[in-house]
Structure 1
């Protein structure tokens, strides 16, 4: 029986890139994270062999990366060598294999978040300033004394 590629999802964060190899009931799992590539292999409950090799977009810190197996998948937490640098793709080559997809459930465009947050804080401060600058107190000399 020939081996096949596992469906793989990925997403980017400021310090890490996450890879999820979607294989249920995996066994004989092997994950090798090197500075420039990830090699994954396993078998599922039916004995089907899976193998993925990804040449990574950028260099990673293989010593500070790890993987975790669950009943449904194997997730890799891969530490970027250069933090806070967005990866436009996971592969070194500008190709997209059919088995590799962006994990849109976890994807967040974090690049520029600090600027957006700073702008929101400034806007909030301006709003707060408008609320607290109420001007002079009313004179209240137009009120009736007959109450």
Structure 2
């Protein structure tokens, strides 16, 4: 079917990360006729599934992108694109021109603020930012390594400790440590002091 209507701008949704731009062209099963990304320029032309309505998207991005490495998300009826930025940095807006464009909206399903993106980074990065000097350790990853070494030393100490049953058995057989023997002798002396010998009492009475 021949196109019999003037080209329209489709609704375009966008989101970003420091190194990527996400674009969604909201035309169901769009038939792409012409598509080009060159530096800051983005151009797309196509029709709807019936071929009766044509669409054109002509954009100038805020900064350059790497169009050769663009990827399309195949699971959507709409045209969803992931386009790498040429320089890894956060853009204040999608377009170089700061004027508002009615048919370009933020994709809140994909949107994250810059600080939220940093929270997505790996756990090691979080430890790198932790002040280990507050624990008396070197800062950064070195502090984390020392912290893990200290935990390993604690585990070694636990392995050197004898089981409780062995310690009790050693006390019963008189083969315990010097400290245990000292405690046993102290118990004997206490029991001896509690009762005076009978012979001493008898001699005192005769005197």
User: Using the alignment, how far apart are the partners of 2:82 and 2:49 within structure 1?
Assistant: 24
Query: SS of the counterpart of 1:63?
Result: helix
Q: Deviations over 1:78-122 (max 9, x none)?
A: 111111x10111111001211000101110013475489738x74
Structure 1 unmatched runs, 5+: 130-147
Whose strand proportion is higher, 1 or 2? 1
- Look up the match of 2:170: none
Cα gap change, 1:67/1:109 in structure 2, threshold over 3 Å: closer, same or farther? same
Cα gap change, 1:93/1:113 in structure 2, threshold over 3 Å: closer, same or farther? same
In the superposition, the TM-score normalised over structure 1's length comes to 0.72
Structure 2 unmatched runs, 5+: 135-146, 148-207
Matched, 1:26 2:26: no
User: Using the alignment, how far apart are the partners of 1:70 and 1:114 within structure 2?
Assistant: 27
**Matched positions, count:** 128
Aligned Cα root-mean-square deviation (Å): 3.2
Cα gap change, 1:45/1:35 in structure 2, threshold over 3 Å: closer, same or farther? same
Q: Which deviates the most, 21-30 or 60-69?
A: 60-69
In the superposition, the TM-score normalised over structure 2's length comes to 0.52
Matches within 5 A, 1:64-143: 64-68=69-73, 72-83=77-88, 85-111=89-115, 113-114=117-118, 118=126, 122=130
